[in-house]
């Protein structure tokens, strides 16, 4: 039996409205490609570049619970703020973020990362020091690579000790694009 798109949308909206989802997600077009945006009842839990939605949904089901469904309404606020950011209208995200899966050091680093202002850069070493482990710059790099909520938690603003753009989970072209958008580096 085939379900009409309208009935399917109503089902998804009702499941979200009743709090029956562990994770709701939606795909979102952006200037840096299609974003997979996922939220729990605690906040945004994932933003992923160029994701295979089925594979991501399966992974989220293993991590957060089996009730994972594509449902746009719960992701509306996150997607709206992302659009405002890309339009140059938002410099700071005001979204709850679900970091329950992050380990203690990773959570501390990501909380410090959230404080790096729009258009400014920091280094892995500076973040390590702020997180209480000044010699853990490499570990900070690992946390940045595994950042579950890039853009909102601005790992693109972290550069090497020499100021060089180094690794980015979304690729250096995206990192450069985001930094140019913010005016942190000049267009080349």
Catalytic residue among 155, 158, 159, 184: 155
Phi, psi of 94 (to 5 degrees): -125, 70
| Cβ atoms < 10 Å from Cβ of 111 | 15
Is 155 tagged catalytic? yes
Q: Which tokens sit at 24?
A: 């709701």
Taking the C-alpha atoms of 69, 113, 120 and 92 in order, what is their torsion angle to the nearest 10 degrees? 50
| Cβ atoms < 10 Å from Cβ of 134 | 12
CA separation for the pair 37, 51 (Å, rounded): 10
CA separation for the pair 149, 111 (Å, rounded): 12
Q: Are 141 and 105 in contact, with CB atoms under 8 Å apart?
A: no
CA separation for the pair 173, 137 (Å, rounded): 23
Distances (CA, A) of 74 to 59, 78, 109, 155: 19, 9, 27, 24
Q: Which residues are catalytic?
A: 155
């Amino acid at each position: 039996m085939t379900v009409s798109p309208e009935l399917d949308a109503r089902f998804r909206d009702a499941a979200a409205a009743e709090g029956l989802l562990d994770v709701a997600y939606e795909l979102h077009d952006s200037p840096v490609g299609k974003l997979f945006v996922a939220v729990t009842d605690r906040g945004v839990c994932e933003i992923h570049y160029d994701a295979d939605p089925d594979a991501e949904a399966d992974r989220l089901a293993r991590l957060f619970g089996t009730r994972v469904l594509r449902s746009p309404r719960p992701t509306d606020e996150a997607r709206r703020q992302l659009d405002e950011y890309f339009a140059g209208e938002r410099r700071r995200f005001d979204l709850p973020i679900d970091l329950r899966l992050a380990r203690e050091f990773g959570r501390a680093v990501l909380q410090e990362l959230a404080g790096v202002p729009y258009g400014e850069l920091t280094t892995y070493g500076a973040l390590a020091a702020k997180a209480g482990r000044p010699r853990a710059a490499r570990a900070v790099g690992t946390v940045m690579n595994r950042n579950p909520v890039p853009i909102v938690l601005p790992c693109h603003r972290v550069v090497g000790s020499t100021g060089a753009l180094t690794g980015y989970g979304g690729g250096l072209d995206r990192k450069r694009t985001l930094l140019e958008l913010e005016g942190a580096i000049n267009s080349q």
